[in-house]
Structure 1
Amino acid sequence: MNKIINNYEILEIKKIISETDTIKTFIFNWEMKEGRIPIPGQFVMVWNFLGKNDEKPMSISIIDRENSKIGITVKKIGDFTEKLHNLSVGDKLGIRGPYGNGFNIENIENKKILAIGGGVGMAPIACFTSYIGQKSNIDVVCASITKDELLFSEKLEDNSANIFTCTDDGTCGFEGYATHRTIDLLKSKSYDMAVVCGPELMMKGIFELLEDREIPAQYSMERYMKCAMGICGQCCVDNTGWRICVEGPVFSNKDLKKIEEFGKYHRNASGEKELY
């Protein structure tokens, strides 16, 4: 049995996959019991107790119910994530969760779905696509700055998804942003629904495209989080007061319209507004 410390389950890293020079996936054993079975779009809080007494939210990128494993995909962007990248198989991390509302996966069979991921935002998109398997026909827009930063395109293609890569510099697939690739797809294709995750300005552009075509969609938002349980209020958004960690991180397009700050600004650790 795994050790429990301050609501964290102390889990051994079973496998590490180097996805790119700056992104790694960490895989853990996970007991799939009631209340702990994650769904795509949810996240866990990660505590590296060998470093500073700090924790960060990480999207779940792998849900393997058959083999009782989960994975998180981490981009090295600061001190906390750099310490994670220095860990090895056999090292341990504190994990609590899963938290938040994931993607709505009910009544999804035989739907034509457009899944759009930008950068490390491909983590929940890949999880969603792999999780629903061949229940639906899925086109995936996989976007990044350059070819070496593309995430999960080969893995998802092996899972029978239709992959449409795009890079800012044109080193792989379509040259341009995820919005440009989506415009191109919508010229010849129609969809029953969409799921989106990536930089917020990217999601804002996608939101407007899909709204124009009346395609219902779900969007995974990111905000600075502390408690992940809706207590501290750190991740509340204007003007609904919704907590990203509880009412989100996934919102429908109808709910997203009510979030005044979407695509405009977010708040830093001190609660100050920072414009996009």
Structure 2
Amino acid sequence: MINEPKIVEIKEIIDETPTIKTFKFDWDMETLGKPNPGEFVMVWNFKNEKPMSIAQINDNELAISVKNIGEFTSQLHELKIGDKIGVRGSYGNGFNNTFEGKKILAIGGGVGMAPIHSIASDLLKKGNDVDVVAAAVTKDELLYGDLLEKLGANVHYCTDDGSFGFRGFATDCTINLLEDSTYDYAFVCGPEIMMKGIFDILEDAKIPAQYSLERYMKCALGVCGQCCVDSEGWRICVEGPVFENDKIYKITEFGKYRRDASGVKF
């Protein structure tokens, strides 16, 4: 379904970190549908369109958290409360949010904490015991840990430079947690090289998990083939962005490379 862009007004902007802002806007769940955690929307700034993970799903309100990494995101960061954007969606295969009364591990790196916040907050409301690994390069870039703590999550912070919490990578922090704990299920989102390391660790520990992947997208409908991954030819916008560990095994490019807009590996 194309879901033509709905013009929405930005009702709140939160400066999360020096590079990340969260934008909140109204969303008619009854008319437009309620997204599931892990799904994404296409955001239109009236010039270009890019996919954005859904960070928060509230009563008739959505939020996206945007890291300033290029021309499009820089333009979004210049917007003010009351400005308008186009939003279509939601799209994609999201996280499994049906668990109740389980021990859950959620791992997010950088702005990858946005969809992790979405799934972790949902599962906390359903009575699950949720541990969160919130990772960033430095303290100022940590995202969503405080909100998840307020909801009852056990948040384990880690920073590459040791400026807050555990000193080291998300992989190192996860290894430490698994020395004393085990989990029924895990959810992971962040830089793909980080997710590859987490994948190996969780597989060794025999913990099933879901991973949210990112690729260059154009249509979000599975038509253009721009976001296909090698081996099975799965489209990140349709079969993904979330994949279970048994499918990750079949994506040969996972943690190794991806393709730019012209299809060149990098």
Q: State TM-score, norm by structure 2.
A: 0.97
Does residue 252 of the first structure (1) align with residue 244 of the second (2)? yes
Q: Secondary structure at the match of 1:24?
A: strand
**Aligned equivalent of 1:208:** 200
**Aligned equivalent of 2:52:** 58
**Aligned equivalent of 2:17:** 20
1:128 to partner: Cα distance: 0.8
Select the residue among 187, 190, 204 that pairs with 2:179. Answer: 187
Select the residue among 67, 84, 96 that pairs with 1:104. Answer: 96
1:7 to partner: Cα distance: 1.1
Does residue 158 of the first structure (1) align with residue 150 of the second (2)? yes
- Unmatched tracts of structure 2, length 5 or more: none
Q: Secondary structure at the match of 1:265?
A: coil
Q: Secondary structure at the match of 1:143?
A: strand
Does residue 239 of the first structure (1) align with residue 231 of the second (2)? yes
Residue deviations 1:149-183 (CA, integer Å, cap 9, x gap) = 00011111001000000000000000000000000
Q: State TM-score, norm by structure 1.
A: 0.94
Does residue 136 of the first structure (1) align with residue 128 of the second (2)? yes
- Unmatched tracts of structure 1, length 5 or more: 1-5
User: Which whole-Å CA distance do the structure 1 matches of 2:31 and 2:201 have between them?
Assistant: 38
Select the residue among 62, 65, 89 that pairs with 1:70. Answer: 62
The verdict on how the C-alpha distance between 1:34 and 1:112 changes in structure 2, with shifts beyond 3 A counting, is farther
**Aligned equivalent of 2:110:** 119
Q: Secondary structure at the match of 1:273?
A: coil
Q: Secondary structure at the match of 2:54?
A: strand
* Higher deviation after alignment, 240-249 or 32-41: 32-41
Quick one: which amino acid aligns to residue 188 of structure 1? D
Question: Contact 2:40/2:91 (CA < 8 Å) preserved in 1?
Answer: yes
Quick one: which amino acid aligns to residue 190 of structure 1? T
Quick one: which amino acid aligns to residue 203 of structure 1? M
1:34 to partner: Cα distance: 6.2
1:133 to partner: Cα distance: 2.4
1:148 to partner: Cα distance: 0.2
Select the residue among 39, 43, 64 that pairs with 1:42. Answer: 39
* Higher deviation after alignment, 129-138 or 144-153: 129-138
Residue deviations 1:222-251 (CA, integer Å, cap 9, x gap) = 000000000000000001010000000000
Q: Secondary structure at the match of 2:258?
A: strand
The verdict on how the C-alpha distance between 1:198 and 1:130 changes in structure 2, with shifts beyond 3 A counting, is same
User: Which whole-Å CA distance do the structure 2 matches of 1:27 and 1:132 have between them?
Assistant: 21
Tell me the matched-pair count: 263
User: Which whole-Å CA distance do the structure 2 matches of 1:264 and 1:240 have between them?
Assistant: 16
Aligned residues: CA RMSD: 1.0
Moved over 3 A (4+): none
